[in-house]
Structure 1
Amino acid sequence: MQLTRPRLARMIDHTLLAPTATEAEVAALVAEANELGTWSVCVSPSRLPLPGGAGRVRVAAVAGFPSGQHTAEIKADEATAAVAAGAHEIDMVIDVGRLLDGDLVYTEKEVRMVREAVPAPVLLKVILETGVLTDRQVIDACQACERAGADYVKTSTGFHPSGGATVHAVEVMRAAVGDRLGIKASGGIRDYPTAVAMVRAGATRLGMSASRTVLEQAPAE
């Protein structure tokens, strides 16, 4: 696959979610995203609205991040506040413990609550933390997210010790949702070959902080 620099850039959510991130670092992230031509910046909701705006890029904010152990009501309120402050997209974390309990009803309920709180055209991505799930659990979670109205399913927060995105997880997710939902691979994408592998497996969006390094390795055209 010839994934050129401009095409790849438009698939990237340029991300800064470190709890120590300062206002200056967030401003630098936004400037770099505009320079590189990424699709969006992804930041913590406490950093919204972005001082000086986002320029040409879209804004994504997280909800229930990174543990997912917030109540569904809190996630919905957090998403609502982020959109009111300028977010175009929400990346919410499911309560993965509930999913491991087999409570798919809860998974579907919490995703639906956030979806209803931030309806289209806001884009809703749902983080599953695939590193702790079996293939069957990934499939079931993807289908629950689809029923609840999600636009994307996403592999990982990048903060869990189980690791980030894997090619296998993306393949399982793509098989579960077909072409009906987008798939975001996130966590551990630090070079161009890894980015290409995720796209080949079915990812349509990539979350990363090493965007400049990855794009500099990509062919210009």
Structure 2
Amino acid sequence: MMTTSMQDVAKRTLGLIDLTNLNDDCTPADIETLVSRSQNEHGHVAAICIYSRFIKQAAELLKDSPVRIATVVNFPGGGEDTAPVLEETRQAVADGADEIDLVMPYRAFAEGRHDVAAEQIRAVRAAIPAPAQLKVILETGELKDARLIHLASEIAIAEGADFIKTSTGKVAENATLKSAEIMLNVLRETAKENHRQIGFKPAGGIRTVEDAREYLALADELMGQNWVSAATFRFGASGLLDAVLAGIEGRTEESKETY
């Protein structure tokens, strides 16, 4: 049995999950399953995160639901050619996406060509009409250097990101508490000058309620006890929901991260 405090963490986590299926072999049947799992007797996740080819299907299935639809663009490679990314973004929004998770050109950024990343983020931001939101994926495990992660966070925010996100979940190192601390500190440092609410999304490798507890504790410490909500904090995960439901119900279960 999990302790009451861990049950509380599980309850808190449920509504912060972007329930994800970015498997290469994802099918329409898998999307039906994902949507069916997005709401349960304990509540609902914040969003589902899926490939753009499934947006219309998901939008139909979720038309009476509070669950939002997120999709990924320039994924997972973070290429430098912005034109197809803009086309993909506009189509995704037209099809019903509420949130666009953009992989910034992180290789170019790591090479020192920061303008390439800034210009792409700015262009994609301009292609997303309100109230749709932009999350910018920094791919922190590939940037590696704390100074680069800090600067990438600042640039993403300056160019219009609604969320800054750690990872695609497709590289060797994804979300870490170290990268989370850097990114949250940037949010804290820039809060007064932003004049708008900007969120944080750790993604990839977050599998257990204990994992979630550590990230939530960090956010509470750096941003304040009342900062975390679905509007400011998301977990990008495919298998965390299993562990969260087990935690709420007082069961012990390992989740399976599949992307």
Normalising to structure 2: TM-score of the pair?
A: 0.80
Aligned partner of 2:32 in structure 1 is: 27
What is the deviation of 1:108? Answer: 1.1
Separation in structure 2 between the aligned mates of residue 143 and residue 122 of structure 1, nearest angstrom: 21
Separation in structure 2 between the aligned mates of residue 23 and residue 116 of structure 1, nearest angstrom: 30
Separation in structure 2 between the aligned mates of residue 70 and residue 24 of structure 1, nearest angstrom: 33
CA deviations 1:143-195 (Å, max 9, x no partner) are: 1111101011100000012x210011000001112145211000001110001
> In structure 1, which of residues 14, 19, 30 is the aligned counterpart of residue 19 of structure 2?
14
Separation in structure 1 between the aligned mates of residue 241 and residue 184 of structure 2, nearest angstrom: 27
Aligned partner of 2:180 in structure 1 is: 170
What is the deviation of 1:53? Answer: 2.3
Local SS of the residue matching 1:48: helix
What is the deviation of 1:201? Answer: 2.3
What is the deviation of 1:200? Answer: 2.0
Aligned partner of 2:257 in structure 1 is: none
Q: Which amino acid aligns with 2:94?
A: A
Separation in structure 2 between the aligned mates of residue 24 and residue 126 of structure 1, nearest angstrom: 28
What is the deviation of 1:70? Answer: 5.2
Aligned CA distance change for structure 1 residues 4 and 199 (closer, same or farther; 3 Å): closer
Separation in structure 2 between the aligned mates of residue 219 and residue 108 of structure 1, nearest angstrom: 41
Describe how 1:91-106 pairs up with structure 2 within 5 A. Answer: 91-106=101-116
Aligned partner of 1:50 in structure 2 is: 57
Is contact 2:167-2:204 (8 Å) kept? yes
CA deviations 1:101-132 (Å, max 9, x no partner) are: 11111111100100000032111100011012
What 5-or-longer segments of structure 2 have no aligned partner? 192-196, 220-227, 251-259
Local SS of the residue matching 2:135: strand
> In structure 2, which of residues 94, 97, 100 is the aligned counterpart of residue 90 of structure 1?
100
CA deviations 1:6-53 (Å, max 9, x no partner) are: 431111000000110011011100110122510110000011202532
Local SS of the residue matching 1:136: helix
Is contact 1:63-1:75 (8 Å) kept? yes
Separation in structure 1 between the aligned mates of residue 202 and residue 162 of structure 2, nearest angstrom: 14
Aligned length: 220
Separation in structure 2 between the aligned mates of residue 142 and residue 16 of structure 1, nearest angstrom: 25
Aligned partner of 2:212 in structure 1 is: 195
What is the deviation of 1:220? Answer: 6.2
Local SS of the residue matching 1:73: helix
Separation in structure 2 between the aligned mates of residue 102 and residue 44 of structure 1, nearest angstrom: 30
Is contact 1:44-1:62 (8 Å) kept? yes
CA deviations 1:83-105 (Å, max 9, x no partner) are: 10010001010111111111111
Is contact 2:55-2:69 (8 Å) kept? no
Aligned partner of 1:41 in structure 2 is: 48
Is contact 1:73-1:113 (8 Å) kept? no
> In structure 1, which of residues 63, 81, 88 is the aligned counterpart of residue 91 of structure 2?
81
Aligned partner of 2:198 in structure 1 is: 181
Describe how 1:105-124 pairs up with structure 2 within 5 A. Answer: 105-124=115-134
Normalising to structure 1: TM-score of the pair?
A: 0.93
What 5-or-longer segments of structure 1 have no aligned partner? none
Is contact 1:63-1:91 (8 Å) kept? yes
